[in-house]
Amino acid sequence: MSVVEVDRVEKHYGSVAALAGVSLTFADGEFFGLLGPSGSGKTTLLRAIAGFVEPDSGEIRLDGKDIGRTPVHRREIGMVFQNYALFPHMSVFENVAFGLSVRGEKGPVVEKRVKEMLALVRLAGFDARRPRQLSGGQQQRIALARALVTRPKLLLLDEPLGALDKRLRQQMQIELKQIQREVGITTVFVTHDQEEALTLSDRVAIFNEGRVVQAGKPLEIYERPATAFAANFLGDANFFEGRVEGPGRIATGVGTLTTSDALPPAGSTAMIAVRPEKIALTSSSSPGNAGSNRLEGRLTQAVYSGMSTTYKVDVGGREITVFEQNKGAPSLTPGIAVRLEWAPAHSVVVQP
C-alpha cells in the first residue's frame, strides 16, 4: 500500500488559517483518525489530500511523490463521503462499477472486480438493487465498495458513519475496521465522534484552529493528554489549577493535590487533569486509602445511563464529575456527604 506525508501545509481563507503549518505522516496500512470540533481544519486537510482544496504552501506526498499538482482523478485515492453520494438512478452494480467505467474498463474485468468488492463488503447478490432499497448501513458499504474497486493507494473517509443511528454506527465501526484490515489499505478518516476515533484509529490527531494539538495512539492521548483541550476533547476530565508547592504537590482551590508527573519549579502555576472514571466515590464515613488524593464534598446529582452512573459532586463550591461502571443499582443518593479519592498517577499534568 502507501505512505502519505503532509509537510507544513498551510491554507488560509482571508484572515482565517484553516491549516496552519500542519505536518503528519500516515503509515502504510494505518487507520488514522482526524478528530476535532467543527472548523478545526480536519476536513480541510482531508480535502487537500483528495485534491479538492489547493494548499497555499507545503507539500502532500504519496509514496514520496508530491501530488500537489496531480489532478483529482489521477491521485489513486478512493473517497467515501458522509452522505455516500450514491447515484439513485443506478443499480448497486452500476454504482460500484462507476470508477472502472470512467477508466475505460469493460466486460469480464468489471464484472469480476465488482463481484469481489460486493463479497468483501458482504453484499453479494445485491447487484440489481437501487440505493433506495438499501438500509443506511448497506448504502455505506456500497459507497466503500465503490471507493475500493479501482484499487486505490489511499482511502479517505469523511464522517463515514455520521448518518447512522448509534446502534448501527457501533456495528459498522467493527465492520469498517475489519474490511480495512482485510484490504490493508492506508486509511485516513475525519470524525468529531470520540468513541469512533477510539474504536477505529491506530493513531489519531486532534485538531484545533488549524493546528495539530496532539497526535498519537488513542490510548496514549486518552491516558496522557498533553493539553487541557486534548483531555477535554478525547473524553471528559476534571481540571485543577494551582501553585506548585514542591515535587508532586499542587495547592489548589479545593486543597493540596499530588501527582506522579514532573512539575515546574515551586511557586509556578500548574494544571492537572483527572478522568472521571479514575475517581473512586464513597460515603464520607468509609475508610480512606493511604497515599491517595482525597477530597470531601456533597453529592448533588446521580444520572443512571445503563452501563454507568454519572455523579456530580460539590467540593468547596466547584463541581466534580465521577463515572462509575454499573455493577448494580447506584448505592449513593444526592444530598449525602461523600469522599473522592484517586491515585497520584491519575493526576496528569497538562498545559492550560
Domains in the chain, CATH or no CATH each = 4-232 (3.40.50.300), 236-350 (2.40.50.100)
- How many Å apart are CA 131 and CA 115, to the nearest integer? 17
For 254, the grid coordinates are: 479545593
Q: Are strands 186-191 and 31-35 parallel, antiparallel or unpaired?
A: parallel
What is the predicted pLDDT for the residue at 107? 84
What is the predicted pLDDT for the residue at 319? 96
Which neighbouring-strand residues pair with 40? Answer: none
110: enclosing H helix or E strand: helix 107-120
What is the predicted pLDDT for the residue at 32? 98
What is the predicted pLDDT for the residue at 1? 59
- How many Å apart are CA 218 and CA 271, to the nearest integer? 22
What is the predicted pLDDT for the residue at 171? 84
What is the predicted pLDDT for the residue at 330? 63
What is the predicted pLDDT for the residue at 239? 97
What is the predicted pLDDT for the residue at 82? 80
Burial of 166 (0-12, 13-18, 19+ CB in 10 A): exposed
What is the predicted pLDDT for the residue at 52? 95
What is the predicted pLDDT for the residue at 169? 83
What is the predicted pLDDT for the residue at 294? 94
Low-confidence ranges of the chain (pLDDT < 50): none
Neighbours of 259 (CB within 10 A): 23
